[in-house]
Structure 1
Amino acid sequence: MLHQLRRIPKAAASAVVVTLALAGAFLTPAESARAADPAYKVLVFSKTAGFRHDSIPAGTQAIRDLGAANNFTVTATEDSAAFSTANLAQFKAVVFLSTTGDVLNATQQSALQSYLDGGGGYFGIHAAADTEYDWPQYEQIAGAWFKSHPAIQQATVRTEDRANAATSHLGQTWSRTDEWYNYRTNPRANVRVLQSLDEGSYSGGEMSGDHPITWCHPQGNGRAFYTGLGHTQESYADPAFRTLLLGGIRYAAGFAKADCRAETGYTSLYNGSTTGWSQAGPGSFTNTDATLTSQGGMGLYWYRTKEYASYSLKLDWRMPGDDNSGVFVGFPSSDDPNSAVNQGYEIQIDATDTADKTTGSVYGFKSADLAARDGALNPPGQWNGYEIRVEGERLQVFLNGVKINDFTNTDPARSLRQGYIGIQNHGTGDDVSFRNIRIKELGGTTPPQSSTYEGESYTSSQGVQPADHGPASGGRTLGYIENGDWAGYSQAQLAGARTFSARVSSAGAGGTIQVRSGSATGPVIGSVGVSNTGGWETFQTVSTALTGTPTGPVFLTFTGGAGSLFDVDTFTLGR
């Protein structure tokens, strides 16, 4: 492929009490039971350059109502001039309410991109996916572009994530009437899917049975949330949908914490069925609405079907107040809960205790990073998500997607290399609930020494575009790179990285790749030159050491002469 011209101008660029779960939506206690967020501002943007939805006024009023009840003020506009760096700085989140067509110029696109990279929030509703087709980065922000839709009809919505503030009030399924979008691509590989459609429940689904409809994902240093719901005026009078809107706004604004990293390859251990689980010791767990809730104790509810070695364990938990529970890993098979205490490790759930015995700690052994923990934690009454990652004797704890503990076992009486998992019922009055326990086996006993990423899988960028090349991994590269361009990868975290290598090609001027930590203007922790390789289809590998103690997501910045410099096929972080 020739690179003289960009395809798009750069300017545009024991016994368990079992109760059958109920299907359908249900409402949690009133929002007034939740502590108010600090006062903040939200921009609602509803400009249309294509089809105009008659539900826009109802949607705007619904968001105003939510703001009045939840401590945020709303500025509603259809003036694209609102997208300036100075104006956006006053808002915690920007809502694209059924926008359509090309509604931002290049300068305004750049302002939105900078706003999100700097920590701002985006929330797209319904036709927000039918917007900004001339700006490739917008597809990354929204998650996917609209393709088509059948007639308005009733369908079944599956709730895949019941911990996110936008969906925790819903049952496992939700029957509702709306206009159901098909998308040009499936976003699942790049976003955390919160809801999907059962294509067998309606006519006109065109996504081969895997049909995400609501999702979230990190966007630079900010956050992005999208829902395809919201075509009809009636939607905005529905309390369940209004709660979804509020949760999406609060996530985008940074107040509702959630793990919105893409998730694939996990096997469910509990999502309503208790098959394979057993109670050790006194007390029990109720099982209602695909939710386990502890009562009595002190006991342990453990998954006795299989021992695990090298895995990522994820689960959602909620405590109503100052309660106590925990997740045990690495213990031997036993009907005595003390075997887990004495031969395994507990990742604690407890609102108040000493640092080594409170939420996020490896109980009695290592405190969480309390600043990171407090920044990632939703308060009592709200759902949180743990990822407990065990590789060899190393145990890492992530809270709502943020790493808060990193512990290595040195006790000869214990070993994390193989064992069972379980959840604790601590005692009367310590009422902690769990949902969606799932595991992904990692296929080894030691941490991976390297991680490889596709160059075109950027989550934020300036100037660059994907380019098609047959010899490239997946047939595409990060292309159209010119001096001053950059690409960010929120999924590629630098913690522990020591080396950087990239598979590159060039029939252009060549140049330099700078590896930056945390943002496009963050510290340069490594740089490597790229020479002309003899053609865009001819690839070579370049590499460099990384310096300092890099943290945060990877950002690649590019320098060189005039015109297209080089393409990046894949890059690898070595540890």
Structure 2
Amino acid sequence: MVALSIVAATPAQISTISLHAATVTAAQTTAAQTTAAQTTAAQTDQAMPLTVMSADRFAPLFNGNDLSGWVNVNTAPETWSAKNGEIYCTGIPTGVLRTEKSYRNFVLELEWMHESPTGNAGLFIWSDPITAKGQPFTRSVEVQIMLGEEMREGDKLMYTSQGDIFSIHGATMKPDRPHPAGWARCLPSENRTKGAGEWNHYRVTAIDGAVKLAVNGKEVSGAFDVNPREGFICLESEGTPVHFRNIRIQELPAGEPLAPDAKCTQDEGFRSIFTGSLQGWTEQTGLAGHWKVEDWKLTYDGRGETLWSVNKYADFELMIDWRWSGSSHKAKVPVVRKDGTTPVGADGKQETVEIDEFGDSGIYLRGNDKSQVNIWSWPVGSGEVFGYRTDPSQSAEVRAGVTPSENADAPPGKWNRMKIKMQGERLTVVLNGKTVLNNARLPGVPVDGPIALQHHGAPIEFANIYLRELPAPKASE
């Protein structure tokens, strides 16, 4: 075991030290103690080369007054607030608040307090900037912030409220100690969490894909081989009020360049236009109640009318998750060729194919049902622009362009992620990572208008509705 004591020093006295099989723990730090700190290297299961710097190199992640430097990813404006030197979270709806900046190697300290004996929240590190498909949370490693809950299966302890570390929604890691059920989750070595109404101190050391957590001054859990190992830092809202304070970070040298898949996705400027309520959306008078908010999801029973955004948009990129939530029935639908045409049989009738029909919906662009990106069960696949494909006045090129290149729909009941780029009169649709429409032309499309989620009689769920506005295309485009 290597032991090292370091006190606050001037910048000239900062030293760089590599510790093999060691990590840093710290005594609980309060706001009044931020001018000095003492760290102790404690033996751990995995090697973690570490650069240790003086305590005065910590920088605040929260200024104590407002949420400057933070992004409300997918929750309501009132979910997060700054008051009394704290970040306060209502817990409703489920979602995350993240840093504007991404981080790679760092030491992060914060204090948290739950109001209730049973409370749930979390700290995410190395996170993507927006939520994972069909989830209210990001791909990341979660450092659990929970009280009053644990789960056992027989004699196996599955999770605790004492500082578990685990990967979520596509991130990967190996726990420092094997989990009883083989999960990618590190259970803490001992219980150190204080109860409701008491402040707990976390110190998270994250270096080159290894992470260690000290709870109230002692290391209890860790992981290694984490991927991605560069990304944003998030605070989690999950159903109960929680307080955070004294959030500060000390960035450490980056080391060797990372492969692209070891980094989080890039922040492209998407911002949520559905934040856990129907604020910003409008229903037809007298037909309200069919579109309902269920925490982070927007559900529709198929018996109301189309839901419109209040705001108008011209050039934009929209990201939206959706899935069918009703039952299917047998139906015969036309066969659609890749060029957008429908073949006719010897009897002069359109050729059809029988399918399990789950429903029909879509996304209206610029206030116009003709420029609707279809969501449906037809074999041609979602993403088609029916109003243009079936318009005989359009050229063959236009009609082929608005016909999906492939059926990229997820199986019924599974979440889909659709990205719609509308710029000028050009439309690109990416469904579940596959480009099904590529720069298709929509002649005569309005220059702007609201977005709508279409009513077509079928139950459907939407979530994670993000938008970023784009510049108008150049005249030559």
> Which TM bucket (shorter chain)?
0.3 to 0.5
Which has the larger strand fraction? 2
Max Rg structure: 2
Larger RCO of the pair (alpha carbons < 8 Å, separation 6+): 2
TM-score normalised by the chain length of structure 1: 0.36
Which has the larger helix fraction? 1
TM-score normalised by the chain length of structure 2: 0.42
